[in-house]
Amino acid sequence: MSLGKQDILAHFSHRFGQAPRWIIRAPGRVNLIGEHTDYNDGFVLPLAINRAAWIALRPRDDRRIAVYSVDYDQAAEFSLDGLRDEKAGWVEYLKGTAWALQDAGLHLTGWEGVLAGDVPLGAGLSSSAALELATARALAVAADLDWNPATMAKLGQRAENKWVGVNCGIMDQLISAAGRADHALLIDCRTLDTQPVPFPPKTAVVVLDTSTRRGLVDSAYNERRSQCEAAAKFFGVKALRDVTIEQFQRAAPQLDDLTRRRALHVITENDRTVQAAEAMRHGDAVLLGRLMAESHRSLRDDYEVSSDALNAMVECASAHPACYGARMTGAGFGGCAVALIRADAADDFVQKTSDAYQKKTSNDPAVYVCQATNGAEVV
């Protein structure tokens, strides 16, 4: 049911009457733990998933990019010269990425192709980063550029920040660029160092889409970011990543309650994320699950970015005997939860958790078992 190479090949052949020169795949992601830590220069632990943006393309002789979006059933075209933001929807992600690469001094060339994806839009699995990295990889392959995942991730983030106008951290683009099959990546968001971490044996990662979508998320997100900056300033450090739990506890009484709770989440979450990677290296699913559950409580009570639907989903998932731990994932206020479960009980978990959630909320959830895949690649 998920989109594959044959599908994008068929779309290309249908439109162009021949096979493409290249096929690109760039994945969405789910974050196991380390939420709202990326913009605090901290650690995150995401995996690239088997849902992705795909582009099939062939070169052009001029400096134009022409793309047909299968999902929007819409064609768009632009020139690499004199790029302008026209607020034209999905194509702005491609233009923004081209702008970021050219602004970094890279020489691009024209191409045409088709774009299709199966990362649900706006669900918190980062379809936007998948699209940016697919675009970057397509631009790079067409112009015969070197591919450095971290460099391209930063340019993708720049496109999203400056062109699209979404103030995101580096996690989404970096995992889409640098993901590793069968592994999560422990990312140090300050140095952009990435370490692949294997999953505990006989476990599976499940994404649980509440089918609710975030409202008010941008203002709440920006508000959290400034609260974190205020807390970092209070501690006299560059980012909350530089504050230990002991330092925090000593100074906590002098902080106002709201700033204290925001900082408490970030500082403990950072610590949990490092511990979680360690637990994975030891194959300790029980500890990893417990850290995920603590992460959810911290996001719900201290950072206050969960929602009734997310809490209900996490409760339903956690109640299943095969679940090691579950938490909301992504920015919050809606979208998806993630669970770590015993792999041999996956079917039963999916069925029972979906039923329980539906009964509790009357929402129709989408629950799927994920595989960890490679980052943006020429297939």
> Under the rule (CB under 6 A), what is the footprint of ligand ADP?
53, 69, 71-72, 89-90, 93, 115-117, 121-128, 131
Paired strand residues for 89: none
The CA distance from 228 to 167, in Å, is: 14
173 binds Mg ion (CB under 5 A): no
Tokens of 233: 């300033």
Q: Catalytic: which of 172, 242, 256, 347?
A: 172
The CA distance from 11 to 172, in Å, is: 27
Nearer to ligand ADP, 90 or 235 (CB): 90
- Nearest approach in angstroms of CB 245 to ligand ADP is 31
Annotated active-site residue 172? The verdict is yes
Location of structure tokens 């505990």: 200
Secondary element (H or E) of residue 271: helix 257-281
Closest residue by Cα to residue 300 from 312, 318, 286, 285: 312
- Which single residue brings its beta carbon nearest to Mg ion? 128
Nearer to Mg ion, 59 or 122 (CB): 122
Q: Which does 341 bind (CB under 5 to 8 A by kind): Mg ion, ligand ADP, none?
A: none
Nearer to ligand ADP, 87 or 105 (CB): 87
Torsion on CA atoms 306, 311, 314, 320, rounded to nearest 10: 170
The CA distance from 341 to 192, in Å, is: 29
Is residue 272 within 8 A of residue 291, CB to CB? The reply is yes
311 binds Mg ion (CB under 5 A): no
128 binds Mg ion (CB under 5 A): yes
- Nearest approach in angstroms of CB 277 to ligand ADP is 24
Site string for Mg ion, 98-127 (x = CB under 5 A): ----------------------------x-
State residue 108 phi and psi, 5-degree precision: -105, 160
- Nearest approach in angstroms of CB 69 to ligand ADP is 5
Written as one letter, the residue type at 78 is: F
- Which single residue brings its beta carbon nearest to ligand ADP? 117
Nearer to ligand ADP, 128 or 311 (CB): 128
Kindly list the distances between the CA atom of residue 73 and the CA atoms of 15, 69, 82, 154, in Å, as whole numbers in the listed order: 12, 6, 26, 30
- Nearest approach in angstroms of CB 126 to Mg ion is 5
- Nearest approach in angstroms of CB 127 to Mg ion is 6
The CA distance from 197 to 174, in Å, is: 15
Q: Which does 89 bind (CB under 5 to 8 A by kind): Mg ion, ligand ADP, none?
A: ligand ADP
- Nearest approach in angstroms of CB 125 to ligand ADP is 6
Q: Which does 26 bind (CB under 5 to 8 A by kind): ligand ADP, Mg ion, none?
A: none
Q: Which does 117 bind (CB under 5 to 8 A by kind): ligand ADP, Mg ion, none?
A: ligand ADP
Binding residues for Mg ion, how many (CB under 5 A)?
2
Give the dihedral sign, CA 2/34/177/70. positive
Is residue 27 within 8 A of residue 48, CB to CB? The reply is yes
The footprint of Mg ion (CB under 5 A) covers 126, 128
The set of catalytic residues is 172
